[in-house]
């Protein structure tokens, strides 16, 4: 079996459900269930004996060591992280604790376990670390997209903490020989995306008749990938990636934020028109920019395509339509994640931003 961390979050849950749809290999899912982790994301797996959910922290090496010796996984995929840039600006400490200290404790437990393996189990073992394009910093408009050799230049507490975790993972390969793989992916979108992030926030606010808060001039560029394409890339890297290597994953879909918001509004105009017949884009509200806001991300995904034959299956047009439809059809999920803590976050982040 394999062990997945952070498998109750957005990408992790999509990965776990996808994995069990495509394989009979069981999976242990270790998740702390922070505000971003939600067992409802895994409801499709209720009663499935191949899915073993464990509520716990990657920083608890006693727990992870116990799980490793009990289940003897052949691979670990580390999704667990604090993932929201704005939250890292308001309070970096959890990011340091989970993304850096937590990853360190996980690596230590894994190093001990891996050292106890023999023969094929030792040779075949992999530790796959899921990281982000944000570690490379911000690109100028005419600069080439991030390749795997681009210098690290993280700008937010979130991206700095992810960069630190990438460095630890790299060091465990170089120093101890741990067979690690690292993926650095661009912005994901799709089902179960927590509505603190741009795309789900815009859908949810639009439907609630609330303002659509665009930071600064809305011309920041992100490179969007449908979440199941990220999952297929991770599976491919796990199967065939070379230990010690990093693979950039992206969708060749660079778009300015304002264009994303207009696309979401246009889809909602078509699929769920406003009662007053007016377009949703009238709800757009320009608000104070994110401090240190990275202007542009773009991924050069040629290495994973050339070496491992991976390419995204979705275009942005197909992926965003599926996403908007999913939110329209899953309003109960949206209501359930909008707890008191969610409302407190919205008040904190947007209360201070002047329209
Ligand atoms: P998310 O915030 O939706 O989910 C994170 C999950 O990790 C949650 O289930 C949470 O409960 C769990 N978690 C947090 N701290 C933990 C801890 N100490 N121990 C165990 N579990 C813990 O994040 P996501 O968007 O699904 O991102 C998953 C991973 O992918 C992260 O490492 C992130 O940096 C990376 N990534 C995300 C994107 C993106 O666009 N969302 C893009 C590239 C890379
Ligand atoms: O690039 C990969 C990264 O993508 C991941 O590593 C992160 O975990 C993930 O959260 C995401 O980071 P971003 O900061 O790019 O995503 P977010 O959805 O928060 O913001 C996307 C863009 O939209 C960014 O330029 C900020 C802007 N934005 C965001 C919010 C929440 C707004 O204009 N208004 C908003 O209300």
Give the pLDDT confidence of 118-130 residue by residue, as tens digits. 999 999 999 999 9
Task: Say whether pTM exceeds 0.85.
Answer: yes
Class of domain 2-188+226-251+296-313: alpha beta
- Specify the residue with its C-alpha closest to ligand 2, atom 3: 187
98 C-alpha to ligand 1 centroid (Å) = 10
27 touches 50 (CB < 8 A): yes
User: Ligand 1 mean position to 32 CA, how many Å?
Assistant: 11
pLDDT in tens, 294-342: 999 999 999 999 999 999 999 999 999 999 999 999 999 999 999 878 8
Domain coordinates in residue numbering, the chain:
2-188+226-251+296-313
Q: In a 3-state reduction of DSSP, which class is residue 4?
A: strand
Question: Is 158 in the active site?
Answer: yes
Residues 6+ apart with CB under 8 A from 212: 202, 205, 206, 261, 265, 280, 281, 283, 284, 285
pLDDT digits (tens, 9 = 90+) for 19-30: 999 999 999 999
Q: Give φ, ψ of 284 to 5 degrees.
A: -65, 135
Residue with the nearest Cα to atom 35 of ligand 1?
Answer: 131
- Sign, CA dihedral 119-65-21-317, equals negative
28-58 in b/e form (b: 16+ CB < 10 A) is: bbbbbebbbbbeebbeebeeeeebbbbebbb
């Amino acid at each position: 079996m394999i062990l997945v961390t952070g498998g109750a979050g957005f990408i992790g849950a999509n990965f776990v459900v996808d994995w069990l749809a495509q394989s009979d290999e069981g999976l242990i899912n270790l998740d702390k269930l922070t505000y971003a982790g939600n067992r409802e994301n895994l409801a499709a797996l209720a009663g499935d004996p191949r899915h073993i959910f464990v509520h716990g922290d990657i920083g608890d090496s006693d727990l992870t060591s116990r799980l490793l010796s009990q289940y003897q996984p052949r691979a670990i995929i580390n999704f667990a992280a604090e993932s929201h840039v704005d939250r890292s600006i308001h309070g970096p400490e959890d990011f340091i604790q989970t993304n850096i200290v937590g990853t360190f404790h996980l690596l230590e437990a894994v190093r001990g376990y891996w050292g106890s393996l023999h023969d094929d189990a030792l040779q075949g073992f992999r530790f796959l670390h899921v990281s982000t394009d944000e570690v490379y910093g911000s690109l100028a408009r005419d600069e080439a997209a991030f390749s795997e050799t681009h210098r690290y230049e993280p700008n937010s507490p979130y991206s700095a903490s992810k960069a630190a975790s990438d460095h630890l993972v790299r060091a465990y390969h170089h120093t101890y020989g741990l067979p690690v793989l690292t993926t650095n992916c661009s912005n994901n979108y799709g089902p179960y995306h927590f509505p603190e992030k741009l795309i789900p926030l815009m859908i949810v606010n639009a439907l609630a008749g609330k303002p659509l808060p665009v930071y600064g001039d809305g011309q920041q560029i992100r490179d969007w990938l449908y979440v199941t394409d990220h999952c297929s890339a991770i599976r491919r890297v796990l199967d065939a990636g070379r230990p010690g290597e990093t693979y950039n994953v992206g969708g060749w879909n660079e778009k300015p934020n304002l264009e994303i918001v207009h696309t979401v509004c246009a889809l909602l105009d078509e699929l769920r028109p406003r009662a007053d017949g007016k377009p949703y884009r009238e709800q757009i509200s320009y608000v104070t920019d994110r401090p240190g806001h990275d202007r542009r991300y773009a991924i050069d995904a040629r290495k994973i395509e050339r070496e491992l034959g991976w390419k995204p299956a979705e275009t942005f047009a197909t992926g965003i339509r599926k996403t908007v439809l999913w939110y329209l059809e899953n309003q109960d999920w949206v209501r359930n994640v909008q707890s008191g803590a969610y409302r407190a976050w919205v008040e904190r982040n947007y209360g201070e931003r002047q329209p």
